[in-house]
Amino acid sequence: MAAPYYGAPQMSPVPAPVPVAVVSPQFCAPYAVPLTVVKKALSLSGGDFVITDANGAEMLRVKGAVFSVHDRRVLHDAGGQPLVSMREKVLSMHNRCEVFRGDSTNASDLLFTVKKTSVLQLRTEVDVFLAGNTAQQVSDFKIRGSYFERSCNFYLGHSDTMIAQITRKYTPSNVLLGKDTFLVTVFPHVDYRHAEASKNTRRRSNPPLPRRRSPMAAPYAYGAPPPPAAAAAPAPVAVVSPQFCAPYVVPLTVTKKAISLSDGDFTVTDANGAVVLRVKGAIFNVRHRRVLLDAAGQPILSMQEKVFSMHNRWEVFRGDSSNASDLLFTAKKSSIIQLKTQMDIFLASNTAEQVCDFKIKGSYFERSCAFYLGNSNNMIAQMNRQFTVSNVLLGKDTFGVTVFPHVDYVFIAALVVILDEIHRERGD
């Protein structure tokens, strides 16, 4: 039996408040920046991308050169101004790419280089060296993950301090048209244009990919995109307990058991694969009752569906209780009929329920949802489905969940379970 977790899973120290600025500090936002990266389906160069923000507005565009020995790419803002240029080094065993300021290829304008950590790889591992790091003994940034599964994380040096992550977005149109769409989350105070350039150089170290287009919007000429809302307050978003709020990003993997009598058993693991939470379902229970336990088997909270609820309302209680005095929060669909997922979460003290305390928005059919503070666009967590060969063969559902700093990760894990329960009844 593993030792119980008291508090957040152990990760690396919280990053310094100094911005991670590679291209420019003006591209570092004090809030998380969600981006959608789409490769164009029809392109002579085979390397044209469109990058949009959370509202679908175009922020960046990548243009590839036709018949280029160096496989050259230029990243522009939405107004067409070149920000950085990327090219692959010829005859490089490690697929080394160089990134320059603006439309330049002069050594004096070099910003950083990107290369595979080793020539032969089963899992993606890429080193990023800033121009000032001429010795290149230790990388300044690292990318790790599985490009086959289209899921990678960006780290500070060789630490486990995550600064951004990328997952593939699966939609019926993408599958039918052979397009690739990526969801990129750039964490607060991180240069989102550096992360995007690294992503585009990294793709040349892997099998070529296919594509889509986005309508032109007003350009982001200077700095980061307008914030979705004001930056989150430093006070922890603690619903279950402040001990479950970490000062750093907490990446979790939520896996639903393929074979389970209750059809509601889940395992939640941290970045190192250690079990931090388990969810046990009750057999033949009208309310679909679930209990969330720590790694030692101690109940943290219980969840049950309200009978005869048109909005699929769920109630969540402290410990193994179902008493009204132990109610923590309720969750329900925002409307009875939905094309896209939208859920409202109300804390126990919010008895009027006129305005929700938290909201979930996205597409559960695509297994991609974001968690927000109230009715704002201030994101506190996000989830995406992880596609692996074993998951497809065994019919398992595995979700990658990213809980932002100072947010209760047990609360978010419970919401992921409730989301799955509601959509399982609909047959999604």
Lowest mean pLDDT of 36-40, 190-194, 340-344, 346-350, name the range.
Answer: 190-194
**What's the confidence (pLDDT) of residue 147?**
64
**What's the confidence (pLDDT) of residue 212?**
30
Model confidence over 144-174: pLDDT tens digits?
987 666 678 899 988 878 888 888 776 666 6
Give the CA distances from residue 258 to residues 30, 240, 267, in Å, rounded to whole numbers and listed in that order. Answer: 40, 28, 11
**What's the confidence (pLDDT) of residue 106?**
94
**What's the confidence (pLDDT) of residue 289?**
87
% of the chain beyond a pLDDT of 90 = 35
| Residue 101 CB contacts under 8 Å (≥ 6 apart), including other chains | 23, 84, 109, 110, 111
For residue 218, is pLDDT > 50? no
Tokens 């120290």, residue?
Answer: 13
Residue 7: half-sphere exposure toward Cβ, Cα within 13 Å: 6
**What's the confidence (pLDDT) of residue 267?**
93
3 state DSSP class of 341: strand
For residue 242, is pLDDT > 90? yes
| Residue 91 CB contacts under 8 Å (≥ 6 apart), including other chains | none
More confident residue, 329 or 235: 329
**What's the confidence (pLDDT) of residue 331?**
95
For residue 119, is pLDDT > 80? yes
| Longest Cα separation, the chain | 69
- Domains present along the chain, CATH in parentheses: 25-205 (2.40.160.200), 242-426 (2.40.160.200)
**What's the confidence (pLDDT) of residue 261?**
57
Q: How far apart are CA 334 and CA 144, in angstroms?
A: 37
For residue 227, is pLDDT > 50? no
- Average pLDDT over the chain, rounded to an integer: 79
**What's the confidence (pLDDT) of residue 54?**
78
Lowest mean pLDDT of 208-212, 329-333, 421-425, name the range.
Answer: 208-212
pTM for this one?
0.70
Q: Could you tell me whether strands 250-256 and 266-269 are parallel, antiparallel, or unpaired per DSSP bridges?
A: antiparallel
For residue 229, is pLDDT > 50? no
Give the CA distances from residue 338 to residues 344, 365, 426, in Å, rounded to whole numbers and listed in that order. Answer: 13, 11, 11
Instruction: Mark residue 30 as left, alpha or beta (left: phi above 0; alpha: psi -120 to 50; beta: remaining).
Output: alpha
**What's the confidence (pLDDT) of residue 217?**
31
For residue 398, is pLDDT > 70? yes
Model confidence over 161-212: pLDDT tens digits?
888 888 877 666 666 666 778 888 888 888 876 666 665 654 444 443 333 3
Model confidence over 251-283: pLDDT tens digits?
899 998 766 555 568 999 998 889 999 999 876
